[in-house]
Amino acid sequence: MREIVLDTETTGFEPETGDRIVEIGAVELLNHMPTGTTYHEYINPERSMPQEAFEVHGLGDDFLKDKPVFKAIGQAFLDFVGDAKLVIHNAAFDMKFLNAELGWIGLPPLPDDRAIDTLAIARKRFPGAPASLDALCRRFGIDNSARTLHGALLDSEILAEVYLELIGGRQPGFGLDRREEDRVAGADTAWKPRPRPTPLAPQITEAERAAHSAFVDAMGEAALWRRGGSA
């Protein structure tokens, strides 16, 4: 199963009022493992950059003026994503911009049902809890220290890790630094998961902890949970 973890940066919030995409970053996953294949483009929006947007991603007019316009990269972008599912945080926002840009140059839109929204998954798993990308990195102990400004490729790489945690945890083969030829050849030096830089916060509540203690106390001194500390 092929999936593309994707992020965009834009000049604002509404393509209908003239806002444009200025950066696309994407990471390819195959069976929930990164292949090492990525897509990244800076894009000339053919308009000036609002200060509010510049403060988010740091992409200004001087930097973008010699970058390709969307028309020059649109087909290559569609070729890269192919028919893969698109993993996006707050998918409605990015899909709205991508389909607006594709429509303006006469290319087919991306169907909304191809998008997997990690924001929706996070809100369902952790109702009432913060669900921003930074908040999910803190929850899962994922290092996002390089994320001083928003950047589409970096955010896609971080989101790939967050996504795998959201759907059930990092897989044994999930190694961004593993060489593709080693994976294909089945080298003996297989990647092994590294310890988290920050342990996950306890998920058990105080009420659950107290109920468990009362249950163990009711079983007497011979209870299994009393042997060598908590299990």
Q: Which range, of 19-28, 76-85, 197-206, averages the lowest pLDDT? A: 197-206
- Under a CB-based contact definition with an 8 Å cutoff, are residues 174 and 162 in contact? no
Token pair belonging to 62: 């001087």
Given a cut of 50, is residue 221 above it in pLDDT?
Answer: yes
Q: Give the mean pLDDT of 115-140.
A: 97
Q: Give the mean pLDDT of 23-36.
A: 96
C-alpha span between 91 and 112 (Å, rounded): 9
Domain count, the chain: 2
Given a cut of 80, is residue 95 above it in pLDDT?
Answer: yes
Q: What angle do CA 69, 49, 145 make, to 5 degrees?
A: 95
Q: Give the mean pLDDT of 88-106.
A: 98
- Active site residues per annotation: 150
What range defines the domain where residue 46 resides? 2-185
Q: Give the mean pLDDT of 169-186.
A: 45
DSSP code per residue over the chain: -EEEEEEEEESSS-GGGT--EEEEEEEEEETTEEEEEEEEEE---SSPPPHHHHHHH---HHHHTTSPPHHHHHHHHHHHHTT-EEEETTHHHHHHHHHHHHHHTTPPPPPGGGEEEHHHHHHHHSTTS--SHHHHHHHHT---TT-SS--HHHHHHHHHHHHHHHTTS--TT--TTS-HHHHHHT-SS---PPPPSSPPPP---HHHHHHHHHHHHHT-TT-GGGTTS--
195 within some domain: no
173 and 215 co-located in one domain: no
C-alpha span between 21 and 69 (Å, rounded): 10
The CATH code of the domain that includes 57 is: 3.30.420.10
124 and 210 co-located in one domain: no
Given a cut of 50, is residue 143 above it in pLDDT?
Answer: yes
Given a cut of 80, is residue 226 above it in pLDDT?
Answer: no
129 and 215 co-located in one domain: no
Q: Which residue has the higher pLDDT, 145 or 161?
A: 161
Given a cut of 90, is residue 181 above it in pLDDT?
Answer: no
The pTM of the full predicted model, rounded to 2 decimals, is 0.73
226 and 122 co-located in one domain: no
Residue position matching structure tokens 């972008």: 77
Q: Which range, of 70-79, 196-205, 210-219, averages the lowest pLDDT? A: 196-205
pLDDT of residue 91: 98
pLDDT of residue 168: 87
Q: Which range, of 59-63, 128-132, 146-150, averages the lowest pLDDT? A: 146-150
106 within some domain: yes
Cβ neighbors of 50 (< 8 A, separation 6 or more) are: 11, 12
64 within some domain: yes
Query: What is the identity of the amino acid at 207?
Result: A
pLDDT tens for each residue of 182-197: 443 343 444 444 555 5
User: Rg of the chain's alpha carbons, rounded to an integer?
Assistant: 22
24 and 105 co-located in one domain: yes
Q: What angle do CA 3, 169, 37 make, to 5 degrees?
A: 30
148 within some domain: yes
- Under a CB-based contact definition with an 8 Å cutoff, are residues 133 and 25 in contact? no
C-alpha span between 94 and 142 (Å, rounded): 23
23 within some domain: yes
153 and 225 co-located in one domain: no
